[in-house]
Amino acid sequence: MTDPLTVLCFSAVRLGGRILDCLHVETTKGRAMSLILAAESLAEIITGITECEPCSIAIAAVIHVALIGAFFGLPAGIFIWAERKVSARIQDRLGPTRVGGRFGWLQAVADGAKLVQKEDLAPKAADKPLFRIAPYVVVIASFAAFMFLPFTDGWSAVSLDVGLFALFAMLSLEVIGVILAGYASGSKWALFGGMREAAQMVSYEIPMSICALIPIVMAGTLNLNEVIHYQSAGWDTGFPPFFHWNVFHPVAGPAFIVYFVCATASCKRAPFDLAEAESELDAGFLTEYSGMRWSFFFLAEYASMFLVSAVAAILFLGGWDDGFGIVRSLKGTSTNVLDPSVILGNVIGAGVLMLKASKLVLIQIWVRWTLPRLRIDQVMTTCLKYLLPMACALFLAAVVYPMALIVLTGRPQVLPLSAPLTEAAVLTTDEPKVEVAAADAEVSE
């Protein structure tokens, strides 16, 4: 007898293959362009081996889902261990030292094994279907956002021209799970915590999104991979390549700080975590949860910390660009994805991006164990009275600054570019002349 789960998975893979064949979008220039997936190149490689296109698409899809799942779960386990060690160091303690050797490497695994063995309870007054589904909504929202994250040049599950918009749209769905968890728990403490958390998350997403749009305005595209290409430069400009990162821009630099503060608050991290503060609200909307369902919320939290940090690294810190031209020189102008130098450059680029994101996560951990917790009115005042006006002012400056430079210096930015601009942002000097000449000819006729 066939396992129903196997049948369901096989049907999903076949349906996914049909969808991939049918998904085509028409560009503004009138040419059909397939929805670009990172699995496309991998599927072509597998097709050359198996000579079975449906099988290659299914195998590529499974591999990419497994990779995204690994990037979703692995950082969470590492940062749980890192937070314990960092907090212990700040408080002059040792932290985990018994599980997994001297440094307690397996502490996150031990915590997971403990939580699996706990009984899955639901309060008598709870709305049990909603109570049980809320953790999965939070996890799925955070997991789905990873699909649009370019770990290196072209290495993303889904590469869209509106990648940043899609990523934030998926990530914002996490607030639905928080509201469901607070409402369905049947407890006034959980309800108060859910209301506070929802208000905080929605409020801080506004200035965070505005600050994220500043590098988009500078690069002229919502495609995250092209934003990184905009910041990538060689030594031929006369400046170190990392000077082209947006963080050194007079407008994008302050926007990076505002974005990072808002991202920390949107991830429910201290000093903005009063909505789930253990000593004030008995963990807020998490009050009635235990066992694995409780751990799902924190799994999504740590994964979201890595995600927003990776987005910060992409928008402001050059993404997978190492800042010294190493990845750029390895990749060169080759378009062959199987070129050993291209593969090595992509692997190094993925490591660079994860290193940058991990450092930003460590800063979030450091801030949590250093600064005191804010009251909920102070949390909302910080957002609406200070960060939101600052984000709007920076966005206005990002629009005015290049125009002022054009008037004063004749070019839209200070540093010269050696990297090719995106297709949408390139404005050649020949095409307008040709169009004007053709128009004049028509008028004369």
Structure tokens at 309: 């940090």
Q: Is residue 379 in a domain?
A: yes
Q: Give tens-digit pLDDT for 264-275.
A: 999 888 888 876
In terms of domains, do 26 and 165 share one?
Answer: no
Give the mean pLDDT of the chain. Answer: 80
**Residue ending a domain, choose from 85, 114, 140:** 85
| pLDDT of the residue at 216 | 94
Structure tokens at 121: 């309870």
Residue 333 has pLDDT above 80, yes or no: no
Number of structural domains (the chain) is 2
Q: How many CB atoms lie within 10 A of CB 419?
A: 17
Distance CA(14)–CA(36), nearest Å, equals 18
In terms of domains, do 270 and 159 share one?
Answer: yes
Distance CA(334)–CA(325), nearest Å, equals 16
Distance CA(121)–CA(234), nearest Å, equals 58
In terms of domains, do 279 and 400 share one?
Answer: yes
| Torsion angles phi and psi, residue 439, rounded to 5 | -65, -40
Q: Is residue 217 in a domain?
A: yes
Q: Is residue 108 in a domain?
A: no
Q: Give tens-digit pLDDT for 169-185.
A: 999 999 999 999 999 99
| pLDDT of the residue at 37 | 39
Beta strand 32-34 with 24-26: parallel, antiparallel or unpaired? antiparallel
Q: Is residue 334 in a domain?
A: yes
Q: Give tens-digit pLDDT for 299-317.
A: 898 999 999 999 999 999 9
Adjacent-strand bridge partners of 158:
37
In terms of domains, do 298 and 202 share one?
Answer: yes
| pLDDT of the residue at 9 | 37
In terms of domains, do 81 and 126 share one?
Answer: no
| pLDDT of the residue at 57 | 77
Residue 421 has pLDDT above 50, yes or no: no
In terms of domains, do 201 and 65 share one?
Answer: no
In terms of domains, do 66 and 129 share one?
Answer: no
Helix (H) or strand (E) holding 25: strand 24-26
Helices 53-90 and 107-117: angle between axes, nearest 10 degrees: 110
**Averaged pLDDT for residues 278-285:** 66
Task: List alpha helices for 236-374, DSSP H.
Answer: 252-266, 278-281, 291-316, 326-331, 340-368
Q: Is residue 430 in a domain?
A: yes
Q: Is residue 100 in a domain?
A: no
Residue 173: partners with Cβ closer than 8 Å, 6 or more residues away: 137, 140, 141, 144
Q: How many CB atoms lie within 10 A of CB 177?
A: 25
Q: Is residue 442 in a domain?
A: no
Residue 340 has pLDDT above 60, yes or no: yes
| pLDDT of the residue at 419 | 45
The mean-pLDDT minimum among 113-122, 129-138, 220-229, 428-437 falls in: 428-437
Residue 416 pLDDT grade (very low, low, confident, very high; cuts 50, 70, 90): low
Q: Is residue 114 in a domain?
A: no
In terms of domains, do 323 and 415 share one?
Answer: yes
In terms of domains, do 35 and 129 share one?
Answer: no
Q: Give tens-digit pLDDT for 218-244.
A: 998 999 999 999 998 877 777 888 888
In terms of domains, do 57 and 192 share one?
Answer: no
In terms of domains, do 15 and 145 share one?
Answer: no
Q: Residue 57 belongs to what domain range?
A: 7-85
In terms of domains, do 308 and 194 share one?
Answer: yes
Residue 439 has pLDDT above 90, yes or no: no
Residue 437 pLDDT grade (very low, low, confident, very high; cuts 50, 70, 90): very low
